[in-house]
Chains A and B, each alone.
Chain A
Amino acid sequence: MTRNQQHLLSKIATGDGHGEDSPYFDGWKAFEVNPFHHTKNPNGVIQMGLAENQLSFDLIQEWILKHPEASICTSEGVNNFRDIAIFQDYHGLPEFRNAVANFMEKSRRNRVKFDPDRIVMSGGATGAHEMVAFCLADPGDAFLVPTPYYPGFDRDLRWRTGAQLVPVVCESSNNFKVTREALEAAYEGAQDANIRVKGLLITNPSNPLGTILDKETLRMVVSFINEKSIHLVCDEIYAATVFSTQPDFISIAEIIQEEIECNHDLIHIVYSLSKDLGFPGFRVGIVYSYNDAVVNCCRKMSSFGLVSSQTQYLIASMLSDDEFVNKFIAENAISLANRHKVFTEGLAQVDIGCLKSNAGLFVWMDLRHLLKEQTFKAEMELWKVIINKVKLNVSPGSSFHCSAPGWFRVCFANMDDKTMDVALTRIVAFVHQNKETTVPMKKKCWQTNLRLSFSSRRVDDIMMAQCMMSPHSPLPQSPLVRARN
């Protein structure tokens, strides 16, 4: 394109709000050019940067085979074809809304009720977040977002809306809990910079932490937003990935059901079936608002991203089957718990700790002890090693705006057991290789919920390594060593 023609596009189009110029795409590119496959490419890159739930497809497949009428294309369902094919009402199929409300209630153990008339569709949670931002914020207005947070928010909330994100800095020293002080600091910082804050966005369960916000924190958050008279957007996209009740997941819906002083017009939930059910391709995004004006506005806006009526029909059928839903929620939790256990225990074998978590499709892995120095530059270097040498695509903490370097989000639910084994083997091998070649570094004090500190063990390992190089190591000499030289 000539320079003359470049100027023909809008600022939104020519800017970088799409977020794809970030260095983090290197990991994806490495995977795309060399994807792991058990037989065809066993040395390829294993994708651990994609938060997908692939563990429960067999349950869903079984249901689909038993219910051909759930598709409008089968002979059992084709009688409904034309009515569904012409249905473009932005209210959505009533049975779809009822089924989604039902699923949302069951994933919260029926402790709350959801009104199907408050359910608004959108183009995935991606579309939902953007839609809510358009509805609540003018260009230049800001949302507070606790760090670390899902990188997609930078695009979803800001690109076309012109809104801003102001980080609420959370620290590793208290397990990245959202504190009142941090919220106040962020709010005041925005005020000082003349930025109007319109809302606070929290993700619960958290991405990338995999942790659940406790009742105290949720209540604190609700009282904070009420005091400041700002909106609260709760992304509960991982609600049904909670795999143990220690601690139990509490939805914002439960908090506001209590006698707590709260203006319900401020509360909005974003949801989707992409993570809980594993259907990101179906683009089922949901906005649930307690504010009538927001419901009405979002409903009109949903014209720009309605859920295909064919898909609404399938989901309506599936999620109104109580027997299936109960079974799915229970078994999905067990599968995730098992996978989480296998992975975290495997990591523990080589003294890699993760933030204690019981939800999500990933762990928040602590590799601070492997950093050359406690800087983001060192984190990026370590990340490049993990991608290029260990051949795992993981996501560096800096891409989530984490306040301290050394953390990585590692997804564990988007692969089969065999691939998980291979990934663990590679990590183990890498750590051993690293021990053989690195000099012990000064470390910060450990968090109490991490597993062992290994400073004493490391000296022994190095002594041993000098006598005994494994002839079977799949890895060449660690570039960390080369770098040091």
Chain B
Amino acid sequence: MSIEIEQPSVGLSKVAVSETHGEDSPYFAGWKAYDENPYHELNNPSGVIQMGLAENQVSFDLLEDFLETHPEASSWGKGVSSFRENALFQDYHGLPSFRKAMASFMEQIRGGRAKFDPERVVLTAGATAANELLTFILADPGDALLVPTPYYPGFDRDLRWRTGVKIVPIHCDSSNNFQITPQALEAAFNEAEAMNIKVRGVLITNPSNPLGATIQRSVLEEILDFVTRKNIHLVSDEIYSGSVFSSSEFISIAEILEARQYKDSERVHIVYSLSKDLGLPGFRVGTIYSYNDKVVTTARRMSSFTLISSQTQHLLACMLSNKEFTENYIQINRERLRKRYDMIIEGLRSAGIECLKGNAGLFCWMNLSPLLEKPTREGELTLWNSMLHEVRLNISPGSSCHISEPGWFRVCFANMSEQTLEIALKRIHDFMEQRKRDI
């Protein structure tokens, strides 16, 4: 007699019982280890240092200074009416002053090399919501988006979980610094076709997570030509655009489109957020910028499920429409991130570890393949476990980013103080010294 495992008697949906939320991946296991034994300078100096969290904590003082010198950002102005107006404001078009400020901030980040129309800015509660929302609009269940590897593990949930859409990887490897090639694009498209899956678009992250590098102009041109040829969409997640160490090195898809006089631009959509550049992930500020009117309208309607708190819109409208503040912030933030990057690269190099040459983001892409016992995924996970439990650093294994070659790890450097980073580097140094002695 077979024993049937019963579903919970009043079943939940297939979406609910699936594992596409992705929390069973090792990416999150490291978090648990950290949560159980978090490093603290005084209270727990031998705890796990969190280097798996891409947060920007290097520029809070600039934000705090602004708040202290601009009390109007915190209050709702004089009288009951302005608080009331703000508390009642649930229009999915968003606060006009905030949309304007976002558009202008996005322009400033790109050094004025692209223009953004506030009417095309759609607001969502975080880039997480923005990516899911766009997927609902651009693809039907069972369809696919092509995503270059390695990619942000959260995409597995954001693009697929509730939408029923698939991800087909565009394989990139270290032979050419993981750049996206036309061959890889074609191969991914053909792979989908062979499985009878309809491809609806390509989603790139520029600057890349986890590579920490910007995509070159020529590659962007190729990608745009590819999607035009195949008549599919292009989503450019530019969440790290303000974290490029040197302004001139980042080229937004917006600039490419402007150079082409916006021909065929209705297939292009940009995702942005303030979580990384401003270090405000708790405020849930995401945007979709689309060159497609129907997408803007539909996205706006859908944003009803995920609007930004009007209280937060008001605060940020104040902050981001102050051009003096934003210019200064962007510049200083960049410099500080570059300094951190240089520090970690140098520290790793002196420990005998090389990283991919990066120029952006809150992390570096570290190559530990020489250390693998076996050049396999298992070998990588074994090494990752050592890093977690012996060295007590939570870093992200490349396999969680769907990379095909083992041994690469993403290491975040902006979510801690310089002192903590030094300690982390010392631990790595000691670990490498120990290994040399053991061999």
Interface residues, chain A, with chain B CB atoms under 8 Å away:
1, 4-6, 8-13, 18, 20, 52, 54, 57-58, 60-61, 64, 68, 71, 73-75, 77-78, 81-82, 84-88, 123-124, 126-127, 130, 134-139, 141, 155-156, 159-160, 198, 229-231, 263, 265-266, 274, 278-283, 293-294, 297, 300-301, 303-311, 314
Contact = CB atoms under 8 A, between A and B. Distances in A.
Nearest to B313: A281
A13 B282 contact: no
A310 B311 contact: yes
Interface stretch (B57-65, B170-178, B239-247): B57-65
A141 B10 CA distance: 13
B137 A54 contact: no
A31 to B, nearest CB: 13
Contacts, number: 235
A305 B129 contact: yes
Given A57-B87, A82-B64, A74 B71 contact: yes
B80 A61 contact: yes
Interface in B257-304: 266-267, 275, 279-284, 292-295, 298, 301-302, 304
B229 interface: no
Given A134-B162, A293-B12, A281 B310 contact: yes
B83 A314 contact: no
23 contacts: A5-B267, A10-B138, A10-B143, A13-B137, A61-B83, A73-B67, A74-B71, A78-B64, A81-B60, A81-B67, A85-B282, A88-B281, A139-B141, A263-B10, A265-B8, A265-B10, A281-B86, A282-B309, A283-B309, A293-B8, A306-B126, A310-B283, A314-B311
A229 B282 contact: no
Contacts of A18: 298, 301-302
B90 interface: yes
B311 A130 contact: no
A86 B83 CA distance: 25
Contact of B12 (A58, A135, A229): A135
Contacts of B315: 73, 310
B74 interface: yes
Contacts of A279: 87
A281 B304 CA distance: 11
Tell which of A54, A127, A282, A301 has the most Cβ of chain B within 10 Å. A282
B23 interface: yes
A135 B74 CA distance: 37
A8 B10 CA distance: 38
B13 A135 contact: yes
Contacts of B3: none
Contacts of B335: none
Contact of A304 (B9, B13, B125, B293): B125
Nearest to A127: B305
B137 A9 contact: yes
B125 A86 contact: no
Contact of B13 (A86, A137, A311): A137
A37 to B, nearest CB: 13
Contacts of B161: 301
A87 B60 CA distance: 14
Interface in B20-72: 21, 23, 55, 57, 60, 63-64, 67-68, 71
B13 A136 contact: yes
B128 A8 contact: no
B282 A84 contact: yes
B266 A5 contact: yes
B231 interface: yes
A61 to B, nearest CB: 4
Contacts of B301: 18, 20
B279 A86 contact: yes
**Shortest beta-carbon contacts, A-B, top 3:** A309-B282, A281-B310, A73-B74
Nearest to B141: A139
Interface string B139-166: 1110100000000000001100110000
B439 interface: no
Interface in B77-116: 80, 83-84, 86-90
Given A86-B279, A283-B309, A307-B284, 14 more contacts: A9-B138, A13-B295, A74-B74, A81-B60, A81-B67, A86-B280, A87-B281, A88-B126, A123-B129, A156-B305, A263-B10, A279-B87, A281-B309, A304-B305
A74 B10 contact: no
B364 interface: no
B73 interface: yes
B132 interface: yes
B267 A310 contact: no
Contacts of B158: 304
A229 to B, nearest CB: 5
Contacts of A308: 125, 282-284, 308-309, 311-312
Contacts of A1: 266, 292-294
Contacts of A135: 12-13, 15-16
B306 interface: yes
Contacts of A281: 86-90, 309-311
B353 interface: no
A86 B57 contact: yes
A196 to B, nearest CB: 10
Nearest to A133: B13
A283 to B, nearest CB: 5
A242 to B, nearest CB: 21
B125 A306 contact: yes
A280 B60 CA distance: 29
A199 to B, nearest CB: 9
Given A78-B68, A300-B21, A85 B283 contact: yes
Contacts of A75: 68, 71
Most buried by B among A20, A74, A86: A86
B301 to A, nearest CB: 4
B87 A283 contact: no
Contacts of B298: 9, 13, 18
Contacts of A52: 88
A282 B280 contact: no
A57 B266 CA distance: 44
Nearest to A88: B281
Contacts of A134: 13, 15-16, 162
A13 B87 CA distance: 30
B232 interface: yes
B292 A310 contact: no
Contact of A136 (B16, B76, B89): B16
A297 B76 CA distance: 36
B340 interface: no
A304 B16 contact: no
B334 interface: no
A231 B11 CA distance: 9
A11 B136 CA distance: 9
Nearest to B61: A82
| Residue picked from A134, A230, A266, A303, most chain B C-beta under 10 Å | A303
Contacts of A5: 266-267, 292
B417 interface: no
A82 B232 contact: no
A371 B254 CA distance: 56
A290 to B, nearest CB: 12
B190 interface: no
A155 B310 CA distance: 22
Contacts of B308: 283, 308
Given A266-B10, A283-B125, A310-B311, A86 B281 contact: yes
Nearest to A128: B305
B10 A60 contact: no
B436 interface: no
Given A13-B298, A86-B281, A309-B282, A130 B305 contact: yes
A126 to B, nearest CB: 5
Contacts of A87: 281-282
A136 B128 contact: no
Contacts of A82: 57, 60, 63-64, 279
B12 A160 contact: no
A52 B141 CA distance: 37
